[in-house]
Structure 1
């Protein structure tokens, strides 16, 4: 242990404390296990995984992720690839392996007409060209939102054909779904910056379950139900950490903070002295989106057992119930992905009111079928979760990769380290991305290695 070689004026509890047992905290712990440093992970929740949470109780034999579902950029370079190969496969239905059909429909359940789809494709190509032009023009010193940049071209190209408009809006809402925010909040300068390249892999056992299995394999020391409320770095010889359930402080040499960006924005941890202005500015500037899942189980598969997804164009508002995953018998589950403003509005409703919205939608798109009453359901409300306050980060207007670099940069003379899906700074590789579980994992590895280098060289 590092401290055995140091003169101590007081007893240190650990060399390193990791705050948060999500992907970043888990990865940091695994790295520290390769050293002789003592450490512990403090987790405020009563489970491991954070926003990667698998519900294994509501739907009996079917695990359902209420947070992250896919390993993005799936392949041998992904730090979670080998773990998934060993620990992530269950002997049950695998969404990615079974094939199936995508039901792409208009607001009334009817097919989208080929000529309208072709016309919409041309319009979208022009919109993407406009975004590429703006993002690639280094003379544009001031950022704008994606909505601002494409709005004029959009209005010029959209004609009287309402179905063409709905198809174009369906694609625009796909951007919003990916980022978890509306286009008027997203940076046009950072259009297509840091997106996850490559294919995706559905985690059949549940992403939260996979992270729990990784923890079990490594026997990581984690204290659950331990909420960190105060971090004091005013003494240069140690860091004092206060938790909600303790009257005395936990002492350490280094700390890795992996709590969600939403919690940093809400100041759920008090820092003494306060965080430097540049760190605070990065926290405030980075975007933070919302994606919720409305999971509903039915007594039968009335939508058709071969259907894997429902993609829906809407007349009411762009992106309303645009994307649904369909799990076939015996699960008979629909998972509605809702994002941005629509997701926030739904969070204000009761469960029964949300169910009514869903049933009205299903009856509208399946007018000739009997839609039975659901037998089970579960709705996430991530923006109301006091340990998340949202889902994942994005490039808001005026933010950029330097914002992420600032979020990842150490504070308190290098003693406080930062990690998480929002803090995976650009390493210059073609595979760099952010806002994913595996990028949170990578950021945790980076922070732990930095601490090891610091303490070994001191």
Structure 2
């Protein structure tokens, strides 16, 4: 038994949903196949674990928020902006022992960081046609020359690790040549209603039909006019004229789908070149808040490892939740530990920076492990050493003579507009729209 459709969309994350919405304006018959038992992919909202709280385990913010963002109208329509924000108030910066940094230390640290980033920008300008290097390689000599030991060094490391947190990778893995590719101010909107709920609203608004629990294992394009797709839970074959693949870059790197014939070398090279960052959330809920109720978040300068427990968001009572963001190498180290071992590290950290507080064990906790998630293998893409904007173009480029299309936050090729971005939920949405429009022009041309 087999199924015949015009288009198969693999994945029901933001890219897959956008592609489906775009195809609704046609007479094409299409299927959306999703391996998970829910939509959203790396957009996932937990509404069950924590008392009185919706907690996003993946994406949390709409980056570049504003009327030009493809998700803006949905957000406004869903009344997200009228819901109670999770956190508001001031942000504090702690040294490793919970002490505050002096104004003089802050001044010197900012000055040093400015010089280091200027050094990266100078490298970027002078080496456009030369071999790439990692940010770590580029700044190492200047860092050693400019940064003294002590509190200034710890604060400089904290400031530098902000870039590593945003990219989900350490400087040793990030391209210096394409540093600041998305240069420009970004207004970020915390999705207080739960990001997955926003995507569910979009699905309901457009009455999309999604086939869940359907893991695509094989895509055969030997006959590119009749692509054959196999799934793990069905012996039947789905045939289609076009396929839009929206699975995460981490899964493409792990080759979770077998392509016959194999993907061309240029596509495989692009998949291997592009960086895949890791950001995990360690969410702990307490019976009461031991932190200042007016504090919305705090930053921490570690004396052992740059970026270790650097950023924590505080949720007011009655939720009494702390969300610790961990990224890159440190996140991978923690993924290798058990939950109880991770919790022990968290409690040591909290008791160190709040030494005067009596901190009891949390009543509930949950730790994400996106690097071990077999339907993600990471959090979001970045420009790794030797990757480039051309890498994203190759990731977005069709294969099989234009019959196989590619979308996702990693495959949103630069269109030259001010609204372009990559690595974000709305970037994935844009890429899904683009891929579906191309399919529509191919199959619906008069």
Q: CA deviation at 1:79?
A: 0.3
Residue in structure 2 matched with residue 226 of structure 1 by the alignment: 214
Q: What CA distance in whole angstroms lies between the structure 2 residues aligned with 1:367 and 1:421?
A: 42
1:350-361 aligned at under 5 Å gives the runs 350-361=338-349
Q: Secondary structure at the match of 1:141?
A: coil
1:133 aligned onto 2:119 = no
Change (3 A) 1:302 1:45: same
TM-score (norm 2): 0.98
Gapped runs of 5+ residues in structure 2?
Answer: none
Q: Output the CA distance in 2 between the equivalents of 1:338 and 1:93.
A: 26
Give 1:414 deviation, angstroms.
0.2
How far apart, CA to CA, are the structure 2 residues paired with 1:354 and 1:126?
A: 36
- The offset of 1:245, in angstroms, is 0.8
**Alignment check: 8 A CA contact 2:225 2:403 kept:** no
Task: Tell me which residue corresponds to 2:357.
Answer: 369
Specify the alignment match of 1:451 in structure 2: 439
Superposed CA deviations along residues 423-444 of structure 1, whole A, max 9, x for unmatched, are: 0000011231100000000000
Contact (CA 8 Å) 2:274, 2:391: kept in 1 or not? yes
**1:149–1:188 contact (8 Å) kept in structure 2:** yes
Give, in whole Å, the separation in 1 of the partners of 2:362 and 2:183: 36
1:33 aligns with 2:24: yes
1:383 alignment partner, SS class: coil
Partner residue of 1:100 out of 66, 84, 89: 89
Which residue is 1:116 aligned to? 105
What TM-score do you get using the length of structure 1 for normalisation? 0.95
1:45 to 36, 48, 67: 36
Counterpart of 2:5?
14
SS of the aligned residue for 2:281 comes to strand
Post-superposition Cα deviations, 1:168-222, rounded to whole Å, max 9, x if no partner, equal 1001111110000010000000101035742000001111111111111111110
| Displacement after TM superposition at 1:140 (Å) | 4.8
Unaligned stretches of 5+ in structure 1?
1-9
Choose which of 310, 332, 343 in structure 2 pairs with 1:344.
332
- Tell me the SS of whatever aligns to 1:311: strand
1:231-310 residue pairs with structure 2 within 5 A?
231-310=219-298
Residue by residue, what CA displacement relative to the aligned partner does 1:69-102 show, whole Å, maximum 9, x if unpaired? 000000000000000011151765314xx63011
Distance 1:378 1:369 in 2: 23
CA distance in 1, matches of 2:156, 2:366: 31
SS in 1 for 2:325: strand
**Over the residues paired in the alignment, what is the CA RMSD in angstroms?**
1.4
Among residues 152, 158, 163, which one is paired with 2:141 in the alignment? 152
Q: Distance in 2 between matches of 1:123 and 1:234?
A: 57
Work out the number of aligned pairs and report it: 446
Q: Per the alignment, do residues 195 and 292 of structure 1 end up closer, same or farther by CA in structure 2, a change over 3 Å counting?
A: farther
- Determine if contact 2:51/2:319 at 8 Å carries over to the other structure: no
User: Which consecutive aligned stretches of 4+ in structure 1 deviate over 3 angstroms post-superposition?
Assistant: none
Which residue does the alignment assign to 2:74?
83
Alignment counterpart, residue 197 of structure 2, candidates 187, 206, 209: 209
